[in-house]
Amino acid sequence: MDRGSPIMANRTKALVSKIYNFGIARGLVDHNPRLGIPQPAKARQRERVLSEEEIRRLWRVLDDQGTAMAASFKVRLLTAQRGVEVLTMRWADLDGDWWTIPGDVAKNGFSHRVPLSEPAQAVLAELRDAADGSNWVFPSPKVAGKPMANVQKAADRLVELAGVEFVPHDLRRTAASHMTSMGIPRLVVSKILNHVEQGVTAVYDRHSYDEEKREALARWGDRLLQIIG
């Protein structure tokens, strides 16, 4: 908090709590010193959504970079999926124009089927040609046999080159917001985002929404191509 990082202070407090709860459950410690300490900063929700012009400028820089790292940012924007889900994508998770995110990777613990639009498939096809036998679609350039992990430095470089202020998670929000602005129902966008529904309706609604998700992401892919020209 003293160095002006309130969000990091909140995250550190939460992490300390998890560590001590882990220790308590295994009899390593007998109390959690985090208890009773107030939240360092008031939580605030990011609302950053890139405009069409900002998307255009960012995409041009990603094209110029031409790296697997740059491609991971494209896939985030095209699919609206979380960063860790994209970065841990395996070739075995892809089947034609479908990508299945395993339950042990998805944030909510449920496997998630993501339809791949033609632009998304084109990005992945270029990566497959240069896969060099890796199981990972986005292999780590530093650690053999591991996927990419930290993309913050790459994001900072993109901010500088494109002149667009953003953090990687803003791409997911940007895709979702643009889809709803196109008239795609919020429920369908929620299914694409793999949000967990609550209440009675969620219990009885077992429809997969696969076709609705496919149509929505296809429309978004077409719109994105129009935006980038």
Burial (CB count <10 Å: 0-12, 13-18, 19+), residue 111 = middle
Read out DSSP for 63-89? HHH-SHHHHHHHHHHHH---HHHHHT-
213: its two tokens: 């998700």
- Give the number of domains in the chain: 2
Q: Are residues 8 and 67 in the same domain?
A: no
Q: Provide the pLDDT for residue 51.
A: 96
Residue range 164-181, pLDDT digits in tens: 999 999 999 999 999 999
- In the predicted model, residues of the chain with pLDDT beneath 50 are 203
Amino acid 204: pLDDT: 53
| CA–CA separation, 64 and 57 (whole Å) | 11
Assess whether 154 and 124 both reside in one domain: yes
Say whether both 138 and 119 belong to one domain: yes
Tokens of 208: 């997969």
pLDDT at position 75 is 98
Residue 113, SS3 per DSSP: strand
Structure tokens belonging to residue 37: 């300490």
Q: What per-residue string of b and e applies to 47-84 under the rule 16 or more CB within 10 Å gives b?
A: eebbeeebbbbbbebbeebeebbbbbbbbbbbbbbbbe
28 and 71 co-located in one domain: no
Burial tier of 115 (Cβ tally within 10 Å: 0-12, 13-18, 19+): buried
211 and 142 in a common domain: yes
- H helices of the chain, where? 6-25, 52-65, 68-79, 83-87, 118-129, 152-162, 170-181, 186-193, 200-204, 210-228
Measured distance CA(67)–CA(151) in Å, rounded: 12
The CA distance from 152 to 220, in Å, is 26
Same domain for 77 and 177 = yes
pTM over 0.75: yes
Only one residue has tokens 């997911």, namely 172
Instruction: Specify whether 155 is located in the same domain as 193.
Output: yes
The answer to whether residues 128 and 210 belong to one domain is: yes
Domain that holds residue 15: 1-44
89 and 2 in a common domain? no
Tell me which of 44, 62, 78 is where a domain ends: 44
CATH of the domain at 99: 1.10.443.10
Residue 7's pLDDT is 78
| pLDDT score at 129 | 81
Q: What is the pLDDT of residue 203?
A: 47
pLDDT at 131: 77
Residue 219 has a pLDDT of 98
Same-domain pairing of 118 and 149: yes
**Cα 212-221-228 angle, rounded to 5 deg:** 160
The model's pLDDT over 213-228, given as tens digits with 9 standing for 90+, comes to 999 999 999 999 999 9
Strand, coil or helix: 50: coil
Whether the CA torsion 185, 190, 196, 198 is positive or negative: it is: negative
69 and 167 assigned to the same domain: yes
Residues 98 and 10 in one domain: no
